[in-house]
Amino acid sequence: MAVVVWKKLPTVLLSDELLDKAYRRANKAKDSVEDTDRLFRTRKQMIRMIQSASDVLDATLKSYVAKWPSLDKQSEFDRSLIDASVGCDEFRHHLSNLQWAANQTMAIAKKYEQQIQRMMNIDSMHQRRREAYGRISSIIDQVNPSLLWLNRARDQLRELPSIDTSEPCIVVAGSPNVGKSALIGVLSSNEPEVAGYPFTTKQLHVGHFEHRRRVYQMVDTPGLLDRPMEDRNNIEMQAIVALENIGSIVLFLLDPAEHGGTSMESQENLLAEVAELLPQTPLIVVDGKADLLNIDTGVNPVSGHLCISATEGYGIEQLREELVARIGADDVGDPLLLPEGWHRSDR
């Protein structure tokens, strides 16, 4: 499954900019036509203008269609992000409008080229060329609302997190303020990326660490896996279910000191809900803010959970090892299943 690098979505020109670009190119193409016979020259020029204008429009519109992610090829998680931020149906509709405009433009161009090819009168050739431009411009103007929509959607989609579904991913859940983002920060080898999340006004943190050449991604789930499921809308539920797709493991972070303001009882209810919602995904429960519990052994003797402090750095390496072992991404039994880029001699 391809990773969508949302930040690389191309800018989309609006209809007047697109037409400007096409007609400017067409004028240049016209000037390069040589023929000493005036009739032949005009005919070639008019045809060349229509051809190059329509080629530019066709190529530009189709490049938008090609560079925007195709919904069928996305992970369920990315699809649910698109759905929640701009709407999958609209997304599909506007991209198919561009495809339609490209096809119409080419059909108009072909028809007028054929007509001009048979003409013997210079004025009529100019006349036909203008007509072709008029019809092409009107097609492009007709899809301007789609171009505008894509421009706005691009700004929204650029904020989304990019998650590589072929690499392990640790989904960090837990009540608000338990220290999810802080934990991702200390486990991460770089400053975590801060991304937008269509389900909440909060920002989402995406961190990474490497172990034996695998990249372990970590995402937190503010607004998603942090409160009771009863008052959830459809799109949120869809996104939660989609987490099953990207999550190699769910790390459920508890705050036994209740420093974040949520009682242990509610935190445990949420834990039960999350376990039920993602039955296929292994779950690891971690006690956070160990510094407030006066525990520095790595395991909480009361709960038996691994115990960490993001602010003091306790238990972090032990947790990392546990995550790697539980995910088991480098338990490669069959050498044919070695991850891409690995060689047998590495082992």
Ligand X SMILES: Nc1nc2c(ncn2[C@@H]2O[C@H](COP(=O)(O)OP(=O)(O)OP(=O)(O)O)[C@@H](O)[C@H]2O)c(=O)[nH]1
Residue 181 touches Mg ion, criterion: CB under 5 A: yes
Q: Indicate the residue among 29 and 225 with the shorter CB distance to Mg ion.
A: 225
Residue 269 touches ligand X, criterion: CB under 6 A: no
Strands 169-173 and 214-220: parallel
Residue 182 touches ligand X, criterion: CB under 6 A: yes
Residue 266 touches ligand X, criterion: CB under 6 A: no
Q: Indicate the residue among 75 and 175 with the shorter CB distance to ligand X.
A: 175
Give residue 77's identity as a one-letter amino acid code.
F
Strands 283-287 and 306-307: parallel
Cα dihedral: 145, 103, 155, 24 (round 10) = -90
Question: Considering the complex, what minimum distance in angstroms separates the CB of residue 233 from ligand X?
Answer: 19
Residue number of the CB atom closest to ligand X: 179
* Per-residue H/E/C for 294-311: CCCCCECCCCCCEECECC
The footprint of ligand X on residues 49-78 (CB under 6 A) is none
Residue 176 contact partner, candidates ligand X, Mg ion, none, CB within 5 to 8 A by sort of partner: ligand X
Residue 206 touches ligand X, criterion: CB under 6 A: no
Q: Indicate the residue among 69 and 174 with the shorter CB distance to ligand X.
A: 174
- Going by the DSSP 8-state scheme, the letter that residue 336 receives in this structure is G
Residue 178 contact partner, candidates ligand X, Mg ion, none, CB within 5 to 8 A by sort of partner: ligand X
CB 315 within 8 A of CB 306: yes
CB 308 within 8 A of CB 183: yes
- Interface with Mg ion (CB under 5 A), residue total 3
Q: Indicate the residue among 85 and 181 with the shorter CB distance to Mg ion.
A: 181
The footprint of Mg ion on residues 222-261 (CB under 5 A) is 222
Identify the residue among 90, 291, 322, 330 touching ligand X (CB under 6 A): 291
Residue 295 contact partner, candidates Mg ion, ligand X, none, CB within 5 to 8 A by sort of partner: none
Helix axes 76-85 and 234-246, enclosed angle (nearest 10): 150
* Contact residues for 107 (Cβ-Cβ < 8 A; gap 6+): none
The footprint of ligand X on residues 210-249 (CB under 6 A) is 220, 222, 226
Q: How many Å separate Cα 196 from the centre of its chain?
A: 11
Residue 287 contact partner, candidates ligand X, Mg ion, none, CB within 5 to 8 A by sort of partner: none
Question: Considering the complex, what minimum distance in angstroms separates the CB of residue 181 from Mg ion?
Answer: 3
Residue 311 touches ligand X, criterion: CB under 6 A: yes
Q: Indicate the residue among 179 and 196 with the shorter CB distance to ligand X.
A: 179
* Contact residues for 7 (Cβ-Cβ < 8 A; gap 6+): 158, 162
Identify the residue among 99, 127, 162, 177 touching ligand X (CB under 6 A): 177
- Interface with ligand X (CB under 6 A), residue total 20
* Contact residues for 217 (Cβ-Cβ < 8 A; gap 6+): 163, 164, 167, 168, 169, 170, 206, 207, 208
Q: What are the φ and ψ backbone dihedral angles of 268, each rounded to 5 degrees?
A: -75, -30
List contacts with ligand X (CB under 6 A): 174, 176-182, 202, 220, 222, 226, 260, 288-289, 291-292, 309-311
